[in-house]
Amino acid sequence: MKNQKIITCWLPGWASDFSPWNDLISQRFPRWEHHFASYSDLLNHSDDLSALPILSKSQVVIAWSLGSLIALQNAPLWKAEQKLVLLSPFTNFCEGKGAWPPRILQMMERKVKDDPLQVLTDFSHQLGPIKPDDKKLWLQNALEYSPTSLTLGLEYLRTQKTDIPKHNIAAEIYLLAGEEDKIVASSLGQNLATELKVKQHKILPASGHWPLNNAFLDAIEFIEKQIC
């Protein structure tokens, strides 16, 4: 992998898309060829990510939050030569220490149909630490998704969970979580680390849910140097 571009696919979280940060990501990881699955792609193919052709070609898959859950649910898809980097990972969004009560998500599902701006704004306040410009850009992008699409994502978080035996994921696994994450408690990642055979598990101090702050990017860069 030393002298060629590493094909890398990014799977987003709820109401999210990494593509607006293409310049930042490409500058930080120039040895990787970046591809960004959209939030809509993720939901539409959640039952079978093999419908996204780029994933079978990807040597590295970076999945954030909701994307990490869907990646885990597609466990048989991943091959031994692939690297699976899970950011703010969990197997059950509504169970475990620090998990969200289902009633909160149900309330969000009802409200997002009538007032998506308020729901998304409230959610954005939980992303930090995050730069104001990044927060504004995330919100602008999230508002492009229909209330129906946003509701489906919330329903997915509320109702879906996965139990993954160690032998079911052939890929090399890396787990990264923010110590101050208000959306996915780092303890949920710790639980996952005990269930999976992982290459590396890091809890990043002074970091929350937002995966493109310096601590997350530095940790991903460390992984990049190991595998390139």
As a whole number of Å, the end-to-end CA separation of the chain is 5
pLDDT band at 1 (very low <50, low <70, confident <90, very high): very low
Crossing angle of helices 147-159 and 102-114, in 10° steps, is: 170
User: 83 and 58 in contact (C-beta within 8 Å)?
Assistant: no
Q: Which residue has the higher pLDDT, 118 or 168?
A: 118
Can you tell me the distance from the alpha carbon of 179 to that of 201, in angstroms, rounded to the nearest whole number? 12
* Half-sphere exposure at residue 145, Cβ-oriented, CA atoms within 13 angstroms: 28
pLDDT band at 226 (very low <50, low <70, confident <90, very high): confident
Q: What is the distance between the alpha carbons of residues 161 and 102, in angstroms, rounded to a whole number?
A: 13
Placement of tokens 């939980």 in the chain: 126
Tokens standing for residue 82? 């692939």
Fill in the DSSP letter of residue 97. T
Has residue 195 got a pLDDT over 90?
no
Given a cut of 60, whether residue 2 has pLDDT beyond it is no
pLDDT tens-digit profile of 21-59? Answer: 999 999 999 999 999 999 999 999 999 999 999 999 999
Residue-range domain boundaries for the chain: 6-227
pLDDT > 70? residue 65: yes
Which residues of the chain form beta strands (DSSP E)? 6-11, 32-36, 60-64, 83-87, 172-178, 200-204
Could you read off the pLDDT of 91-118 as tens digits, one per residue? 999 998 889 999 999 999 999 999 999 9
Give the position of tokens 């699976």.
Answer: 84
Q: How far is CA 49 from the centre of its chain?
A: 14
- State whether residue 161 is helix, strand or coil: strand
201 SS3 class: strand
Phi, psi of 36 (to 5 degrees): -120, 115
Mean pLDDT over residues 159-165, rounded? 86
Peptide bond into 147 cis (omega under 30): no
Take residue 222 and report the two structure tokens written for it: 């460390």
Tokens of 135: 């927060």
Is residue 49 within 8 A of residue 38, CB to CB? The reply is: no
Q: Rounded to the nearest 5°, which phi and psi values hold at 111?
A: -75, -35
Mean pLDDT over all residues of the chain?
94
Token pair of 199 as six digits: 């290459």
Residue 196: predicted pLDDT:
85
Question: Collapsing DSSP states into helix, strand and coil, what is residue 26?
Answer: helix
Q: Which CATH class is domain 6-227?
A: alpha beta
pLDDT (tens digit per residue) in 82-92:
999 999 999 99
